[in-house]
Amino acid sequence: MKHLFLTILAGVSLLATSLSHAAQMKALVIDGQNNHNWKGTTPLLVKALESSGLFKVTVATSPAKGGDMASFKPKFSDFEVVISNYNGEPWSAETKAAFEAYVKNGGGFVSVHAADNSFPEWKEYNKIIGVGGWGGRTEKDGPYVRFIDGKATKVMDAGRGGSHGQQHDFVVEVRDASHPITAGLPAKWLHVKDELYDRLRGPAENLTVLATAFANPAKGGSGHHEPMLMAIEYGKGRSFHTALGHSPECMKCVGFIVTLQRGAEWAATGKVTQKVPADFPGADKLSIRD
Ligand code: ZN
Q: Residue 258's domain is classified under what CATH number? A: 3.40.50.880
Ligand 1 centroid from CA 7, angstroms? 56
Ligand 1 centroid from CA 124, angstroms? 23
What are the tens digits of pLDDT across the range 256-287? 999 999 999 999 999 999 999 999 999 999 99
Closest alpha carbon to 80 in 115, 54, 98, 52: 54
pLDDT for res 22: 59
Ligand 1 centroid from CA 164, angstroms? 9
pLDDT for res 17: 45
Ligand 1 centroid from CA 168, angstroms? 12
Ligand 1 centroid from CA 76, angstroms? 26
Mean pLDDT for 148-162 is 97
Considering the domain boundaries, does residue 289 fall inside one?
no
pLDDT for res 231: 99
DSSP assignment of the chain: -HHHHHHHHHHHHHHHHHHHHHH-EEEEEEES--SS-HHHHHHHHHHHHHHTTSEEEEEEEPPPTTS-GGG----GGG-SEEEE---SSPPPHHHHHHHHHHHHTT-EEEEEGGGGGS-TT-HHHHHHHS-B--TT--GGG--EEEEETTEEEEE---S-S-EE---EEEEEEES-TTSTTTTTS-SEEEEEEE--EES-BS--TTEEEEEEEE--GGGT--SSEEEEEEEEEETTEEEEEE---SSTTGGGBHHHHHHHHHHHHHHHHS---PPPPTT--BTTB--B--
pLDDT for res 7: 52
Considering the domain boundaries, does residue 18 fall inside one?
no
pLDDT for res 23: 67
Distance CA 86, CA 31 (A): 5
* Least confident among 22-26, 104-108, 245-249: 22-26
Mean pLDDT for 29-52 is 98
pLDDT for res 170: 98
What are the tens digits of pLDDT across the range 6-24? 555 555 544 444 444 456 9
Considering the domain boundaries, does residue 14 fall inside one?
no
Distance CA 41, CA 48 (A): 11
What are the tens digits of pLDDT across the range 90-105? 999 999 999 999 999 9
What are the tens digits of pLDDT across the range 176-201? 999 999 999 999 999 999 999 999 99
Is the pLDDT at 38 greater than 70? The verdict is yes
Considering the domain boundaries, does residue 4 fall inside one?
no
Ligand 1 centroid from CA 223, angstroms? 19
What are the tens digits of pLDDT across the range 45-78? 999 999 999 999 999 999 999 999 999 999 999 9
Is the pLDDT at 236 greater than 60? The verdict is yes
Considering the domain boundaries, does residue 276 fall inside one?
no
Considering the domain boundaries, does residue 3 fall inside one?
no
Considering the domain boundaries, does residue 96 fall inside one?
yes
Ligand 1 centroid from CA 128, angstroms? 20
Taking each helix axis as running N to C, give the angle between helix 254-269 and helix 38-51, from 0 to 180 degrees, rounded to the nearest 10.
70
Ligand 1 centroid from CA 33, angstroms? 14
Distance CA 284, CA 290 (A): 20
Considering the domain boundaries, does residue 7 fall inside one?
no
Residues spanned by the domain of 129: 26-269
pLDDT cut 70: percent of the chain above it: 92
Ligand 1 centroid from CA 117, angstroms? 10
Tally the domains of the chain: 1
